[in-house]
C-alpha cells in the first residue's frame, strides 16, 4: 500500500484525465490501468459548462480519488486562487500544485512554487508540488509543509523518459522517507519501470496514455510496468558491473590440452 498524507491507496500509478479521444476511452483506460488516483484540472471543469458537469459525473462514477491540479498557472496568486476554487469544487484538500516558469519547457517556477506551497499548507491544503529534481528546492518544499514531492524526469508531454537518472537517484537517497512521485516526461512503460526500480513510490502520467494509438492497452501496460518496477526494487536488483562475470562456475572444470 502507498500512503499519501493520511490516505492509503493500492495502485502506484496515477493518471491524468486530459487529451483522450473521448470520455468513454478515458474511463476505460483508467479502469485498465488500475489507478486509484486521477488528476483533474479545475479549468476543464469550470470552462466546460454542461460538458464539464458530465465529465465530473463520469469521474465520480469511476470510484477513484481526485487530485485537482493548478495546471496552466504562471504566478503564485493564480495558483493559490485556483487551488482555493478547486477545494470548493472537488471537495478535497489535496492539490497538485503547478506554477509554471517557462512557456517552452513548462519547467516549474521553483521560487513561486515554494511560496505558493507555504501559503496553501498554512491553509490546510495537502500539497503535491510539481517540481524539478533539485535537492535544495525539495528541501525548501518540505520546510514549507509539503509531505509529498513530485519531481519531473523530463518536460511535460515530451515522452523523453528520465533525463537525469543520477539526480533522481540522489533525490531518492536524500529523502528516503518522503513519498516521491515522478511526474512528467514519461513516454513508455519501460521509463516507468526504470524510475520505480530506483525506489520511487509512484508515477504520474497523462500524455503517454491519452495520445497512444490504443490508450486502453497502453494504460494496462503502464500499470504492469509500475508494478514490475516496484517488485524489482524490493527484490534488490543487481548493480551494473565494469566487466563480465561468468554465471557458470569455473572451479573444478576439466582442462583440455
- What is the number of H-type helices and E-type strands within the chain? 10, 10
CA trace torsion 198, 174, 107, 23 (10° rounding): 50
Outline where DSSP puts E strands in 171-254. 181-183, 202-205
Indicate the helix (H) or strand (E) that contains 17.
none
Please list the active-site residues: 96
CB 139, CB 130: distance < 8 Å:
no
Strand spans (E) along the chain: 2-4, 7-9, 13-16, 37-41, 65-69, 94-97, 126-131, 150-151, 181-183, 202-205
Beta carbons within 8 Å of 70's beta carbon, 6+ residues apart: 42, 78, 79, 82, 83, 86, 95, 96, 97, 98, 99
Residues 223 and 189 sit within 8 Å (Cβ to Cβ):
no
Across the beta sheet with 150-151, the strand order is: 150-151, 126-131, 94-97, 65-69, 37-41, 13-16, 202-205, 181-183
Contacts of 231 (CB under 8 A, 6+ apart): none
C-alpha cell read off for 192: 516507468
Amino acid at each position: 500500500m502507498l500512503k499519501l498524507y493520511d490516505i492509503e491507496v493500492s495502485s502506484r500509478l496515477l493518471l491524468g484525465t486530459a487529451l483522450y479521444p473521448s470520455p468513454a476511452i478515458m474511463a476505460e483506460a483508467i479502469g485498465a490501468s488500475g489507478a486509484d488516483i486521477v488528476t483533474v484540472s479545475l479549468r476543464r471543469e469550470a470552462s466546460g459548462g454542461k460538458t464539464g458537469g458530465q465529465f465530473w459525473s463520469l469521474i465520480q462514477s469511476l470510484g477513484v480519488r481526485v487530485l485537482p491540479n493548478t495546471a496552466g498557472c504562471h504566478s503564485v496568486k493564480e495558483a493559490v486562487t485556483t487551488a482555493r476554487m478547486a477545494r470548493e469544487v472537488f471537495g478535497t484538500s489535496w492539490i497538485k500544485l503547478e506554477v509554471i516558469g517557462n512557456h517552452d519547457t513548462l519547467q516549474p517556477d521553483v521560487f513561486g512554487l515554494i511560496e505558493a506551497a507555504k501559503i496553501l499548507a498554512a491553509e490546510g491544503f495537502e500539497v503535491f508540488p510539481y517540481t524539478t529534481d533539485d535537492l535544495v528546492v525539495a528541501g525548501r518544499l518540505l520546510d514549507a509543509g509539503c509531505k509529498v514531492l513530485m519531481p519531473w524526469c523530463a518536460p511535460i508531454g515530451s515522452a523523453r523518459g528520465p533525463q537525469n537518472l543520477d539526480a533522481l537517484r540522489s533525490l531518492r537517497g536524500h529523502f528516503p522517507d518522503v513519498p516521491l512521485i515522478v511526474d512528467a516526461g514519461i513516454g513508455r512503460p519501460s521509463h516507468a519501470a526504470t524510475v520505480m526500480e530506483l525506489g520511487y513510490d509512484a508515477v504520474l502520467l497523462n500524455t503517454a496514455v491519452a495520445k497512444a494509438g490504443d490508450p486502453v492497452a497502453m494504460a494496462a501496460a503502464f500499470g504492469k510496468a509500475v508494478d514490475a518496477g516496484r517488485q524489482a526494487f524490493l527484490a534488490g536488483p543487481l548493480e551494473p558491473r565494469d566487466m563480465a562475470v561468468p554465471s557458470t562456475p569455473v572451479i573444478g572444470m576439466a582442462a583440455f590440452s
